[in-house]
C-alpha cells in the first residue's frame, strides 16, 4: 500500500522539474505507430544519400500528393500545394493557408546536405599500380572515421557536348565499392604518437578506384586507363569531364535498427535529413492550414550556408516576395509577422564521453524532440537566442499537442559549439528557435537517433503547422 504524500512532497512535485524517459509514458499502440513511422524514414534515408538525391526523392513524393511547381505571378487559392527547386540541391514546399499572407507564414527550415567527401577536379591518378580518386572533405568531418568503410559515389557529370549524366555506384548490392586504406597496427608506431587531426590528413583520403592493369604494354598508367575505360563504357565520360562534374563519396551503409529492442536507428545523414523528413511529412499533412506553410530543405548548411543554394542567399526571400506580390501584400510585412522553426539536430548526451557534456542541460535519447533556446559557440557566438515569449509560444504549442520534448545545449560552454540556419531567417525580423532530434555520434559516417525522438519531431512540426 503506497504511503500518501505529505504536503511538502506534493508541493515539491509541483515546483520541481524532472525530465523523464518518453517511452515510459507511451502506450503499446503509440509505440507501434512510432515504429511504423520510422520505416518510412529509413526508406527516405536510403534514397537520399546526397542533397541532389534528396531533392529528386522529395519531388517524386510531393508530386504524387498533388504538389505542382510554383509559377511566379500566379495567385494561389487556400489549400494549393506548390514546390520550388533550386538548382537540384535545395527545395521549398508550401501549402497556401486561409489567413491573409500579411498575418505571417509558418516556416520550418532544415538542411539536406551532410558531411561527405567530394571528388577533386582532377581526381584520378595511379600510384604503385593502384588507381585512386582524390577527395576534398566537406563539412565537419572527423577524418579518422572515414578510412576502411564501404563508400559509394553519387553525383552528376556534364560531358563535353553538355549532356548531363548521373553517377550512382555502390548502392546496389552487386555494385563495386570504394575504399580508403589505413595503416596496419603492426606498422603504426609513429602514427600512434600523432593527434587524430595529424594522423589522418585530407590528402590521405583517397579512394581506391581500381587495381587491374590494361593488358597493353604501350599504355602508360595501365590501371588508371582501366578505370577510365570502364567509366567511359558505363557513362560515356572522359577524364576531362571531371572538370564539369559534382561527384560525392558517401557511406554505402543502409539505415538499420540498433539494439535488440530496435529502439534506435543508425544511418548516414541523420544530420539533418531527420528534420527534413519529419518536417516534410508534416507539410504533406497540412491540407487546410490557417497560416501558409513554407517547408525549406536547404543546402550548404555544413559549410556555413554559403552559395546560391544555401540560406545565406536570397532565394527564400525571393519566393516570399513572389507569393506576397501575387496576393497584393508587402513581403517585409509577411516576413516580420512570420514564425519559424530552425529544424536541426542537437547532440544527444553520450555517457561514453560524458566529460564533453553538461548533463543538466543536455538532450537525451528517447526523451523527445529537443528545443535549443540558443546554439553557437563560447559566448553564444553566431547564435540566435530565442526570446522568452517565443519559448513560451513553443512550450504551449508542444504541451497542447501532447508532444514529448526537452531542452538542451550542444555540450559544455567552452567545449566547442555549432551553428544552424536560424540566423539567416532571423534577419528578416521573424521569431525563430532551434528544434530537432538529438543525435549520437553526430557527423560520423553512421549516426544514431531514437525512433521516439524522430516521431516527436514530426508531431512538433505537425502542431506548428496547425
CATH number of the domain encompassing residue 184: 2.30.250.10
CATH of residue 442's domain is: 3.40.630.10
pLDDT score for 129: 96
* pLDDT over threshold 70, residue 108: yes
Length of the chain: 466
- 433-440 average pLDDT score: 98
Query: In the listed set 185, 219, 251, which residue is the last one of a domain according to the structure?
Result: 251
pLDDT score for 259: 98
* Cβ contact 345:442 at 8 Å: yes
pLDDT score for 289: 98
Residue 4 forms part of a structural domain: no
Residue 10 forms part of a structural domain: no
301 and 450: one domain?
Answer: yes
Dist. CA 105–CA 189, nearest whole Å: 59
216 and 312: one domain?
Answer: no
167 and 292: one domain?
Answer: no
Residue 1 forms part of a structural domain: no
Looking at 50-99, which runs of residues are DSSP E strands?
A: 68-69, 81-86, 90-95
* pLDDT over threshold 80, residue 132: yes
* pLDDT over threshold 70, residue 2: no
278 and 416: one domain?
Answer: yes
pLDDT score for 79: 97
222 and 309: one domain?
Answer: no
Q: Is the dihedral of CA 233, 239, 245, 248 positive or negative?
A: positive
- 120-132 average pLDDT score: 98
Mean model confidence pLDDT for the chain: 95
Residue 260 forms part of a structural domain: no
132 and 242: one domain?
Answer: yes
Which stretch of DSSP H or E encloses residue 210? strand 207-210
Dist. CA 420–CA 372, nearest whole Å: 11
Q: 25: how many CB neighbours lie within 10 A of its CB?
A: 11
- pLDDT, tens only, 259-309: 999 999 999 999 999 999 999 999 999 999 999 999 999 999 999 999 999
pLDDT score for 1: 55
> What's the number of domains the chain is made of?
2
Query: In the listed set 251, 277, 311, which residue is the last one of a domain according to the structure?
Result: 251
pLDDT score for 352: 97
Higher pLDDT, 411 or 451: 451
Helix (H, G, I), strand (E, B) or coil at 344: coil
* pLDDT over threshold 60, residue 215: yes
pLDDT score for 138: 98
pLDDT score for 362: 95
Residue 257 forms part of a structural domain: no
301 and 350: one domain?
Answer: yes
pLDDT score for 4: 87
122's grid cell: 582532377
72 and 93: one domain?
Answer: yes
* Cβ contact 286:107 at 8 Å: no
- 149-165 average pLDDT score: 97
383 and 313: one domain?
Answer: yes
pLDDT score for 257: 98
pLDDT score for 370: 97
- For residue 101, the 8-state DSSP code is G
* pLDDT over threshold 80, residue 23: no
* Cβ contact 90:55 at 8 Å: yes
pLDDT score for 383: 84
Q: Is the dihedral of CA 241, 243, 245, 250 positive or negative?
A: positive
Query: In the listed set 223, 251, 279, which residue is the last one of a domain according to the structure?
Result: 251
pLDDT score for 381: 84
Count of alpha carbons within 13 angstroms of residue 396, beta-carbon side: 6
Counting residues of the chain whose pLDDT is more than 90, the rounded percentage is: 90
pLDDT score for 238: 97
109 and 232: one domain?
Answer: no
153 and 99: one domain?
Answer: no
Q: 184: how many CB neighbours lie within 10 A of its CB?
A: 7
Dist. CA 342–CA 108, nearest whole Å: 6
- For residue 440, the 8-state DSSP code is B
386 and 436: one domain?
Answer: yes
Going by C-alpha positions, the residue among 202, 269, 256 that lies closest to residue 442 is 269
Residue 244 forms part of a structural domain: yes
CA R_g for the chain: 24
* pLDDT over threshold 80, residue 22: no
Helix (H, G, I), strand (E, B) or coil at 152: strand
pLDDT band at 13 (very low <50, low <70, confident <90, very high): confident
Residue 262 forms part of a structural domain: no
Residue 258 forms part of a structural domain: no
pLDDT band at 380 (very low <50, low <70, confident <90, very high): confident
- 81-102 average pLDDT score: 97
pLDDT score for 318: 98
Domain extent at residue 426: 18-114+268-465
Amino acid at each position: 500500500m503506497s504511503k500518501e504524500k505529505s504536503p511538502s512532497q506534493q508541493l515539491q512535485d509541483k515546483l520541481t522539474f524532472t525530465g523523464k524517459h518518453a517511452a515510459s509514458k507511451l502506450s503499446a499502440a503509440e509505440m507501434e505507430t512510432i515504429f511504423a513511422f520510422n520505416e518510412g524514414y529509413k526508406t527516405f534515408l536510403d534514397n537520399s544519400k546526397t542533397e541532389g538525391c534528396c531533392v529528386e526523392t522529395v519531388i517524386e513524393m510531393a508530386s504524387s500528393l498533388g504538389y505542382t511547381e510554383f509559377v511566379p505571378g500566379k495567385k494561389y487559392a487556400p489549400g494549393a500545394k506548390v514546390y520550388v527547386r533550386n538548382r537540384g540541391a535545395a527545395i521549398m514546399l508550401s501549402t497556401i493557408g486561409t489567413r491573409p499572407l500579411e498575418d505571417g507564414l509558418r516556416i520550418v527550415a532544415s538542411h539536406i546536405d551532410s558531411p561527405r567527401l567530394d571528388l577533386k577536379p582532377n581526381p584520378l591518378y595511379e600510384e604503385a599500380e593502384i588507381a585512386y580518386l582524390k577527395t576534398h572533405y566537406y563539412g565537419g568531418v572527423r577524418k579518422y572515421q572515414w578510412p576502411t568503410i564501404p563508400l559509394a559515389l553519387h553525383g552528376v557529370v556534364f560531358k563535353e557536348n553538355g549532356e548531363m549524366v548521373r553517377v550512382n555506384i555502390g548502392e546496389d548490392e552487386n555494385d563495386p565499392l570504394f575504399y580508403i586504406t589505413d595503416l596496419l597496427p603492426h606498422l603504426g608506431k609513429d602514427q600512434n604518437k600523432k593527434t587524430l587531426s595529424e594522423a589522418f590528413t585530407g590528402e590521405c583520403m583517397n579512394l581506391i578506384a581500381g587495381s587491374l592493369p590494361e593488358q597493353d604494354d604501350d599504355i602508360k598508367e595501365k590501371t588508371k586507363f582501366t578505370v577510365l575505360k570502364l567509366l567511359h563504357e558505363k557513362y560515356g565520360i572522359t577524364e576531362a569531364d571531371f572538370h564539369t562534374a559534382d561527384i560525392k563519396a558517401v557511406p554505402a551503409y543502409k539505415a538499420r535498427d540498433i539494439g535488440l529492442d530496435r529502439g534506435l536507428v543508425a544511418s548516414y545523414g541523420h544530420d539533418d535529413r531527420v528534420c527534413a523528413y519529419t518536417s516534410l511529412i508534416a507539410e504533406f499533412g497540412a491540407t487546410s492550414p490557417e497560416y501558409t506553410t513554407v517547408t525549406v530543405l536547404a543546402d550548404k548548411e555544413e559549410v556555413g550556408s554559403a552559395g546560391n543554394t544555401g540560406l545565406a542567399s536570397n532565394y527564400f526571400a525571393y519566393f516570399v516576395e513572389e507569393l506576397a506580390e501575387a496576393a497584393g501584400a508587402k513581403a517585409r510585412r509577411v516576413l516580420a509577422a512570420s514564425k519559424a522553426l530552425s529544424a536541426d539536430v542537437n547532440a544527444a548526451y553520450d555517457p561514453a564521453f560524458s566529460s564533453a557534456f553538461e548533463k543538466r542541460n543536455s538532450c537525451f535519447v528517447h526523451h523527445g524532440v529537443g528545443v535549443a533556446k540558443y546554439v553557437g559557440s563560447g559566448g553564444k557566438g553566431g547564435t540566435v537566442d530565442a526570446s522568452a515569449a517565443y519559448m513560451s509560444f513553443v512550450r504551449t504549442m508542444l504541451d497542447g499537442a501532447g508532444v514529448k520534448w526537452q531542452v538542451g545545449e550542444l555540450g559544455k560552454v567552452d567545449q566547442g559549439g555549432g551553428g544552424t540556419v536560424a540566423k539567416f531567417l532571423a534577419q528578416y525580423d521573424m521569431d525563430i528557435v532551434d528544434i530537432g532530434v538529438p543525435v549520437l555520434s553526430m557527423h560520423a559516417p553512421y549516426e544514431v537517433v531514437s525512433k521516439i525522438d524522430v516521431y516527436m519531431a514530426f508531431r512538433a512540426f505537425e502542431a506548428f503547422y496547425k
